[in-house]
Structures are given as structure tokens and as C-alpha cells.
Structure 1
Amino acid sequence: MENGRRGKDLRIGDPERENAMRLLGEHFSAGRLDVQEYDERCQQAAAARFGSELDALFEDLPAPRPSNPPRSVVPEALPAMRRAARGNLVVVICAAVLIIFLIVAARQLALVLLVPLAAMIWFYWRR
């Protein structure tokens, strides 16, 4: 381990490296970097292991710069979470429509049919 590192300098992963290379591409397209500088900095970004190594690549450049916000949710998990939330919404809407239908159309049987429906919904939410 390098002795010159700050104590809070954390390791980075592929998403951070890819973001830094994308931002370097923006600076290249804006004319702030020539082809050789862009290539050298992208190679350094691809080999970076710590956030400070990426920060050094942007010291002489204006925004945009890579940022390291604290992550409470892994970005790869967001699509799965959205699909699950969408699925829950569909179940709730279907259950509401079915309850309204049972109350309106099958007045006497509504209570008998609502009990299994309520049990199904309860078991669905528990898993």
C-alpha cells in the first residue's frame, strides 16, 4: 500500500472509472484536451484504483468532474426495485378492481369471495 494516501481515500470500481472516461470525453469534445492528453488520461483512469487518482486527472479542468456521493442503493439494483414496485402497484390495482366488481356484481357472494382474496393479498405482501 502506498504510504502517501489519505486515510479516507477509498477504492473505486468500474462504474467510477467509466464515468471519469465519459467526462474526459466531454472535455475532449469541448476542445479542452487534445488527442494525446485524452488518450493518456483515459489510460490513467482505466488503471486508477483510488478516487484521488481520478481527481488528479481533473485538477486543471473545469466542471464536469467526477463526484463520489455516498451510495445507499447499488445502481444495478435500481431497475429490479422499480420492476418490483411496478408489480406491487399492478397487484393493488387489480385487487381494488376485483373488490369493486365483487361488491357491485356479486352482492351476496361478495363476503364469501372477499375472504380468499384478502388471504391471497396478505400472503403476497408477506413474501
Structure 2
Amino acid sequence: MDNGRQGRNLRIGDPEREQAMRLLGEHFSAGRLEIHEYDERCRQIAQARFGSELDVLFNDLPSPRPNDRAASSTPAPQNPGIPSRAGKIVLAVGAVVLLLFLVVVARQFGLVLLLPLVAIFFFTRRRG
């Protein structure tokens, strides 16, 4: 029972705090907050007990806010198993570095050690 209190005055839990920190991180990455402001607000979010305490921390920021319906229903990534373009580039650079290592250092064992690399490359190219 909420004893007649309205929604933002009710106690919050870890999921609400985590959502508020995620949204605050979006504002930080957009350049709306300096590092010391972000740090201080994260500390206040971690100590918040009521929804109204979170609202105060977002008063000077545009949407998304913790009480926005759109913010609470953010969609999950559709294909988390498929690497992004940046992930594919990192994988390719790593493969080239490993190939150079195998050719220069491992010489005789290079072909044996190269087979797993080729298999990894083949299967990742096939998925993405």
C-alpha cells in the first residue's frame, strides 16, 4: 500500500537506479555533463531511496529521463551475437598480427597454428 502517496514518492530499487545511471551515461556521452557532475550525480543516484530524488538529478537535462515511458522501454539489441563493424575491424587486425607472428616467429609450426586462425576467420565471416 502506498498510503495515498503518488508514484514518484515511492521507494525505488536497484533496477530504477541502474536505469537512471544508464540514462545519465547517455547525457554524459552527449557532452551535457562534465566528469565531476556525472560522478557526483551517479553517487546521488546510488544513494537515492525515492523516485523524486532521481527526478531532481535530471531537472536541468532534456529527455531521456527516468520517468519517461520511452526511456523505460528501450529495445534490446536485435542480434547481440553478430559483431559490429568495429568488432570485425578489430578481429581482422588481430588476425593479421597473429599471422605475422606465426610467419616470423613460429616458422615451422606456423601452418599448424594457422589452421585455428583460418577456421575462426571462416566462421565469423559466414555469420556476419
**For the pair shown, which has the larger CA radius of gyration, 1 or 2?**
1
TM-score by length of 2: 0.47
TM-score by length of 1: 0.48
